[in-house]
Amino acid sequence: YEIEIVTGVQTCALPIFALLRLARGRAMSSAPMTVAVLPGDGIGPEVMDVAVKVLNHAGGLFGKSFKFNHAPVGGAAFDASGDHFPQSTRQACMDSEAILYGSVGGPVSEQHLPKWKDAEKNAVLGIRKAFDLAVNVRPATVYPTLAHASPLRSEIVDKGVDMVIIRELLGGLYFGEHKTEGDKATDVCEYSADQIRRPLEFAFTAAKQRRGRLTVVDKANVLDTSRLWRRVANEMAAQHPEVELEFMYVDNAAMQLIKAPSHFDVICTENLFGDILSDAASVLPGSLGLMPSASLGSSKYMYEPSGGSAPDLTGLDVANPVAQILCTAMMLRYTFALPEMAAAIETAVSSTLAAGICTADIAPPGAQPCGTKAFGDAVCKQLSETHA
């Protein structure tokens, strides 16, 4: 069984075994939907406020309500408790049906301080491990109305950029043994076949709902873990004959993302490679502020923007809230089985951008950019005009 997932102008499909709980009456329930809201640091609280405002506005138009369990994470949590992911925040997530995450981190010049040292590792990786968030889904699409913002040449953009990167989140170097002994440091990369099958199952299913091409990215000419990825992918390919499976070394994939991004449909890869390639791909639309993502687990999902905390922009009302807003749409579709409400938010965002209402990072040359809050207000206006 499969269920189709649409994220903005991006479509992917996920196996229904991962989403069965969506069908257990939630879409018909009148009870408030519970969301753990973790704004984090830097611009996180600003864009989160806008996203929650849009979500509440859409809820009013669709007759839905929310209960938000606000909790600190990252540097904000460290200030309050000395822990980047304290037990109280963990409990807020446990008590909620979904996790809406902002951004974590501080100024580069302060990364050595206890408040920021390992903040992202302790917070993000801690949440992923605590809630078995094993698969990350991150679309990268160039909006036609924002082609000017893409760093790619027009002849490349005109060929179309529409991909989704599916990344394994709980294995590889990030979760292997790390140790330093004098002048020698060791980081262990480990994968099991079962860990590899999980993201690949999502990837094969997504490819069948899209253009039918799956690119597995690895470094099989050097790494045993990559050779295992290839073996498992080839074994699974027999169950998905309609999908064109190809393998690509990660160094070549990095080059092709810039040189020929239209080649890619669905990319699936391991943790470290996926971290790097998804960030690179997210820049192609012109701003990380445009790109949402979802981290999917066996019982709970987390939604977070692809960009960072941008501490230099804090408090200036210039941050792009699009990714955080689109995270709420993904949440409505994935966790709460409300595709019409999700689509309404996505359409309102697209219509706002098409109307030329853009924050400074994506505004056309010579155009007057709008602020973070003003963009959220414009999206709410679009929602009202369409669904009043």
Residue type, 32: P
Q: What is the pLDDT of residue 147?
A: 87
Q: What is the pLDDT of residue 80?
A: 93
- Helix, strand, coil % (nearest 5) of the chain? 45, 20, 35
Three-state secondary structure along 17-59? HHCHHHHCCHHHCCCCEEEEEEEECCCHHHHHHHHHHHHHHHH
Q: Rounded CA gap, 204 and 250, in Å?
A: 19
Tokens of 174: 């990030």
Percentage of the chain modeled with pLDDT above 70: 93
Tokens of 352: 């706002």
Closest CA to 168 of 130, 206, 216: 216
Residue type, 105: G
Closest CA to 326 of 297, 296, 298, 288: 288
- The full DSSP string for 68-92 is EEE---THHHHHHHS-SS-HHHHHH
Active site residues: 174, 219, 251, 275, 279
Contact status, residue 306 vs residue 293, Cβ threshold 8 Å: yes
Q: Rounded CA gap, 207 and 11, in Å?
A: 10
Residues of the chain with pLDDT under 50: 1-24
Model confidence pTM above 0.75: yes
